[in-house]
Amino acid sequence: MPATTLAAAAGTPTDPGRNCPLCPRLVEYRHAVRERDPQGFNAPVPSFGDSSAALLIVGLAPGVQGANRSGRPFTGDYAGDLLYATLLEYGFASGTYQARPDDGLILHDCRITNAVRCVPPQNKPLPVEITTCRPFLIATMEMMPRLRAIVLLGRVAHDTMLKTLGIRAVLAPFSHGAVHDAGRFKLYDSYHCSRYNTNTRVLTPDMFRSVFARVKADLAKG
């Protein structure tokens, strides 16, 4: 695997502004959802957790009923139930996850972000939207001086991370449980903890746990 470099354009912030105009389709959808649900957060969802963390978890995009409404990644989304339960079990979080941003849950040595920060229609961002949002992912990683472990939830997160790091796809194929060395980072692939994947048992809680058990063991090695 080649040594990897990160290079966000100078001055790119880690999070898009509330009214980020970059993806016209997502802006239109955001406005439609804001009209329907004016009490919701309804804006690009910022990363959750401290930038001093060694672990970054990358999801797909906020869900319309969950993160887009609550303003915290995976919070209120079905996928968050398994994710936060697993983080609590492995010591990457403490407190009680109650599916709301003021539940007091604290992440430890862990940060959560999304490949695309705005809620997409049908939960499916377009390739151009993933590309447009990538500079925020790069800026997020650049602001994490201790970053060593990156958990990629699903193929979109995996693919955008390979592009972020300039790694050829053939050198790091996606498969659940795969670990790819990427210079100073290790990339951990996992099936996304979506309702579909868990209901169909494509991803079981044990399969998900094994990813975080490996991350925990690797980080403990120093």
Residue selected from 49, 63, 71, 135 as contacting ligand URA according to rule CB under 6 A:
63
CB 64 within 8 A of CB 119: yes
Q: Which of 16, 66, 125, 135 binds ligand URA (CB under 6 A)?
A: 66
Closest CA to 156 of 107, 192, 120: 192
Number of residues that bind ligand URA (CB under 6 A): 13
Under the phi-then-psi rule, with left for phi > 0, alpha for psi from -120 to 50, and beta for the rest, what region is 68? alpha
* Bridging pattern class, strands 110-114 and 55-59: parallel
Shortest reach from residue 36's CB to ligand URA, in Å:
19
Residue type, 134: R
Query: Counting contacts by CB under 6 A, is residue 114 touching ligand URA?
Result: yes
Q: Which is nearer to ligand URA, 132 or 197 (CB)?
A: 197
Residue (58 or 141) nearer to ligand URA, CB: 58
Residue from 43, 60, 137, 215 in contact with ligand URA (CB under 6 A): 60
Answer yes or no: are the C-beta atoms of 87 and 212 closer than 8 Å. yes
Q: Is 120 in the site for ligand URA (CB under 6 A)?
A: no
